[in-house]
Amino acid sequence: MKKRIFALAAVSAMALGLAGCSSGGTETTAAATEAAETTAAEAADTTAAEEAAPAEEASGEVANKDKPLVWFNRQPSNSSTGELDMAALSFNEDTYYVGFDANQGAELQGTMVKEYIENNIDTIDRNGDGIIGYVLAIGDIGHNDSIARTRGVRKALGTGIEANGEVNSDPVGTNTDGSSAIVQDGSIEVNGKTYIVRELASQEMKNSAGATWDAATAGNAINTWSASFGDSIDVVVSNNDGMGMSMFNAWSKDNQVPTFGYDANSDAVAAIAEGYGGTISQHADVQAYLTLRVLRNALDGVDINTGIATADDAGNVLSDDVYVYNADERSYYALNVAVTAENYQDFLDSTVVYAPVSNQLDAAAHPSKKVWLNIYNAADNFLSATYQPLLQKYDDLLNLEVDYIGGDGQTESNITNRLGNPSQYDAFAINMVKTDNAASYTGLLSQ
Ligand code: BGC
Ligand code: CA
């Protein structure tokens, strides 16, 4: 096992990093405490067992099926039931998933919207009919993160209808008079007055070619919705910033209707100064690090939590308030932070590496390795404008030579076709088009 030196530099870097994001508020505290417990317990578990390090053999001699593999952003799972695909998640001893805590983030997003309504109650009801109307852009009805966000908003606003313990996350189409069977009218009481909250419309933003989370489709949808609902729309909510910004630019900015997204992409954060209501940072700076870090650790043959729960030889380490590890799911989840008018100045550049894990690894101790990595849709705002630029900074710091493959967001084979020679690579990082499709990748690695 590598000797780990807990450098003092790491401690101060960590303190700085924490100060930078502490403005996220108290909402994350409960989740962070839970996270702390889980992480500590899990870390102890994993530290015990030292596994044989595939990378210590000559690279060429490791079978592709035994090479480190990380799934990220789209968790192998059944797109109808949400059930995790544990065969994919435990494909080999060095397989992990990196994403973010979808439920904690969804709750934050819902709460952010609700608090905005409460704080702006005097002006928010544009036509003064006592009904706060909102429209919702849904990313992908089969993507667990998208489902969680739809549920989070409906829960917070009281518009969700529960079936079997879960809030229905289906799109309503339109719901002009509140009679939809998918959602119900909620209510919010402020200063002794009760307002109705109604989901006027929602739809999955999928284009005709099949790409989901499609920003252009959301821009068209808001034009249609505003034409039929006019000043009944008081709030616009979106499962992500790509779609949110498209709606903001097409309509809500000019009409001064607060619009809420998710991801904290730089353009969305900047738009808060112009009336964008807010967004959620899913700590892409931590996720991008984890994505490459688990591969680096597996290739180095060190404990998987090196540079994560415990400081590495360069002083990189993450604290418990920014991620949680779930050993049963073999998944690392970054924690989310709300970004609103109060703190957006701290989030203006979404591509800055996270300070506590920004130290360069020594190339002699951590020699260069080749990684195959794909982005499911090169046109996805979050992945292309936030995640990939971060990965490209961390790949230098971690001495990984990464080939970035961009997909079209629709066709899995467009990507798998470019995994023609896995033997050229030491490790793989995969962002599937559809969460059900893990086997199309593991199949190639098993040949
Ligand atoms: C992001 C979306 C993105 C999606 C792609 C989500 O985590 O919030 O913006 O389109 O991942 O899978
Ligand atoms: Ca109204």
Ligand nearest to the CA of residue 134, numbered in listed order: 2
Evaluate if residue 19 carries a pLDDT over 90. Answer: no
pLDDT at 170 over 70: yes
User: What integer pLDDT is reported at residue 163 of this predicted model?
Assistant: 83
pLDDT of 17: 38
Mean local confidence (pLDDT), 220-231: 98
Residue extents of the structural domains in the chain: 2-52, 63-99+284-445, 103-281
Structure-block tokens of residue 142: 């089969």
Could you identify the atom of ligand 1 that is nearest to the CA of residue 242? 9
Pocket mutation for ligand 1, best pick of 382, 390, 410, 415 (most atoms within 8 Å of C-beta): 382
Q: What architecture is the 103-281 domain classified under in CATH?
A: 3-Layer(aba) Sandwich (3.40)
The mean pLDDT of 162-176, rounded to a whole number, is 95
Is the shortest distance between the CB of 263 and ligand 1 below 6 Å?
yes
Distance 302 CA to ligand 1 centre (A): 31
What atom of ligand 1 comes closest to residue 139's alpha carbon?
Answer: 10
Give tens-digit pLDDT for 190-214: 999 999 999 999 999 999 999 999 9
User: Which ligand is nearest the CA of 230, by number?
Assistant: 2
Cα 132 to ligand 2 centre (Å): 5
Q: Is the pLDDT of residue 24 over 70?
A: no
Token pair belonging to 282? 């899913």
Look at 440 and 15; give whichever has higher pLDDT: 440
Closest to 293 measured CA to CA, from 265, 279, 312, 277 = 312
Q: Minimal CA–CA distance to 197: which of 226, 141, 156? A: 156
Cα 441 to chain centroid distance, Å, stands at 22
Query: Using a 6 Å cutoff on CB, does residue 100 contact ligand 1?
Result: no
| Mutation test residue for ligand 1: of 144, 145, 410, the one with most atoms within 8 Å of CB | 145
CA–centroid distance, 129 to ligand 2, in Å, is: 5
How does the average pLDDT of the chain come out, rounded? 90
Please, is 198 exposed, middle or buried when counting C-beta atoms within 10 Å of its C-beta (0-12, 13-18, 19+)? buried
320 has a pLDDT exceeding 60: yes
pLDDT of residue 355 exceeding 70, the answer is yes
As a whole number of Å, the end-to-end CA separation of the chain is 32
* Span 286-305, average pLDDT: 98
Ligand with minimal distance to 381 CA: 1
Select from 75, 104, 263, 287 the residue to mutate for testing ligand 1; criterion: most ligand atoms less than 8 Å from CB. 263
The 10s digit of each residue's pLDDT in 85-143 is: 999 999 999 999 999 999 999 999 999 999 999 999 999 999 999 999 999 999 999 99
| 78-98 confidence digits (pLDDT tens) | 999 999 999 999 999 999 999
At 39-73, the pLDDT tens digits run 444 444 444 344 444 444 445 589 999 999 999 99
CA of 219 to the centre of ligand 1 (A): 17
What distance in angstroms lies between residue 109's CA and the mean position of ligand 2's atoms? 21
Ligand 1: residue whose CA is nearest its atom 11: 73
Top-confidence residue, 22 or 119: 119
pLDDT, residue 60, reads: 57
* Rounded distance from Cα 122 to ligand 2 centre (Å): 12
Is the Cβ atom of 101 under 6 angstroms away from ligand 1? no
Answer yes or no: is pLDDT of 10 > 70: no
Compute the distance between CA of residue 195 and CA of residue 189 in angstroms, rounded to an integer.
Answer: 6
Q: What is the pLDDT of residues 264-274, one digit of tens each?
A: 999 999 999 99
The number of the ligand nearest the C-alpha atom of 211 reads: 1
Number of neighbours of residue 355 by Cβ within 10 angstroms: 18
